[in-house]
Amino acid sequence: MNLDLDPAAVAFRDLVRAFLRENVPSAPLPGVDTAAGDAAHREWERKLADAGLAAVSWPVEYGGRAAPPLHTLLFDEEYHAAGAPVRIGQNGLFLLAPTLLAHGTAEQCARVLPPMARGDEVWAQAWSEPSAGSDLAAIRSRAVRTGGGWVLSGLKTWSSRAVVADRAFGLFRSHSGEPRHQGLTYLMFDLRAPGVTVRPIRQLDGTAGFAEIFLDDVFVPDSDVIGTAGDGWRVAMSTAGHERGLSLRGPGRFTATAGRLLQLWQTTGPARPQRCIRCGDTAPDSGRTDAAGTQRCIRCGDTALRSGRSGAAGTQRCPGAAETTAGASRVVDAWIGARAYRMRAFASLDVPVAPSATKLFWSELDVALHETASDLLGPDAEIDPEWAAGYLFSLAGPIYAGTNEIQRDILAQRVLGLPR
């Protein structure tokens, strides 16, 4: 076993690193759900595409560079380490594209992928419905056969990016009277077509990250069916694998977050001596835990210890103090978790990882990373915009792409072979 990179991989990593160093905007772009943010993020995608870095794993003819999976992982790490913008095209790039490459026609790939890579066409996912969440096969939105195509009707919801997206891909019931998992068709449609209404939904975090899509007799040509009509469930499960696996959430994001958590720990954690409110003692070891688990000031015995954030004394590190606090253990465990995810990704090049396992791991890890950061920040957590936003976003992880309960069921059945 080894983690050695061959010269081609090193050269690719250096190329990516150099491009990002030159081009990543110094200030964060406006949110993707705003008009200005939409434009700025598409502009960024174009810049990536011009450098041949929008979708490195794709075939060259569609705008990729046919890079091996290892290079995709290296790109992901460099991208997040550089703090580059969120990918506005992620649903298309990481979900639809691999589905098309596996199940689509050459005509579809040639038509859809290049504008996707350039940010000219942003895609949304239209899967869930009000009555079909975890139970996706319960979808009721219909595709009815008509001359040369299909007519869509119904309601899709929780559709990320639909507010700014140009097109969407989704699953529709096309053949009634068949078993639930059959008679579904996987289709692409234009969000600006007649009969489509997109209504933004304000999220818990205040953004319009997702939306409802109302479909009222929307025509879709046969050329926008992916795979065979009626075989949509099988195609959708291919997409779901990418959504839950390393494609949507590579390790770079969590490695970067763990790094930021570590920085936070170094600036707020160990360098923050406990100060006794009563006597003001700031000796680093002024807090002693008594038998009942309560911290007491060793000088006056008061339990009213609080942390002093600033002050010259705060820069003194107390040797040994760090490893005794519960916060330190959580920081280390979060770092180990991010490292484990990263190493599992490298291992997956030879031993594939179940997408459900990946999804369970990264989503729980992301929550742990952000909860740990919040707890380190203490009362300041709610006014720290970056960590607060990250925390709220992390809470969505165990829900989207199939709830973690669904993932545990899938894992139990398919990997462990437990009965239904």
Partner 1 sequence: MRLAPSGEQNHFAAVLHEMLSEAPAHDGAGPDRRLWAALGDAGVTGLMIPERAGGLGAGADDLVIACEQLGRHAVAGPVAESVAAVPLLLGPDDERLAGLAAGQVIASLAAPPWLPYALDGDSADLILLVDGDAVRLGRAGAVHQSADPARRLADVECGALLGTGRPIRQALDLGVLACSAQLLGAGQALLDMSVGYARTRTQFGRPIGSFQAVRHRLADVAVALDFARPLLYAAAVAWTGPHLGAAAIRHLAADHAAAAVRDTAGHPGAAAVRDTAADLDAGRDVSAAKVACGQAALLAARTALQVHGAIGYTAEHRLGRHLTLVRALHLSWGTPDQHRARVLAAITGTGTAPDGRATAGDPAPQPVSRLGAASGADVAWPSRGCPESAGAGIARTDGKGSE
Alpha-helical runs (H) found in 105-163:
106-117
Q: Is 166 in the site for partner 1 (CB under 8 A)?
A: no
Residue 133's closest CA among 358, 401, 412, 414?
Answer: 401
# residues near partner 1 by CB under 8 A: 57
Residue 331's closest CA among 265, 242, 378, 406?
Answer: 265
- 65, 142, 175, 339: residue in contact with partner 1 (rule CB under 8 A): 339
Residue 76's closest CA among 243, 251, 242?
Answer: 251
- Torsions phi, psi of 51, nearest 5? -90, 0
Q: Is 4 in the site for partner 1 (CB under 8 A)?
A: yes
Q: Which of 77, 243, 371, 382 is catalytic?
A: 243
Stretch 293-322 residues interacting with partner 1 (CB under 8 A): 317, 319, 322
Min dist CB 23 to partner 1, Å, is 23
Distance CA 182, CA 37 (A): 40
Whether 243 is a known active-site residue: answer yes
Q: Buried (b) or exposed (e) across 253-265, using 16+ Cβ within 10 A? A: bbbbbbeebbebb
Stretch 375-414 residues interacting with partner 1 (CB under 8 A): 405, 407-409, 411-413
Q: Which helix (H) or strand (E) holds 168?
A: strand 167-173
Distance CA 244, CA 360 (A): 9
Contact 86, 226 (CB under 8 A): no
Stretch 347-376 residues interacting with partner 1 (CB under 8 A): 347, 349-351, 353-354, 356-357, 360-361
- 43, 166, 190, 333: residue in contact with partner 1 (rule CB under 8 A): 333
Return the range that interacts with partner 1 (CB under 8 A); candidates 22-30, 69-77, 220-228, 287-295: 69-77
Q: Is 11 in the site for partner 1 (CB under 8 A)?
A: no
Return the range that interacts with partner 1 (CB under 8 A); candidates 24-32, 112-120, 205-213, 261-269: 261-269
Give the footprint of partner 1 on this chain (CB under 8 A): 1-6, 9-10, 70, 73-74, 262, 265-266, 270, 317, 319, 322-323, 328-329, 331-333, 335-337, 339-344, 346-347, 349-351, 353-354, 356-357, 360-361, 405, 407-409, 411-413, 415-420
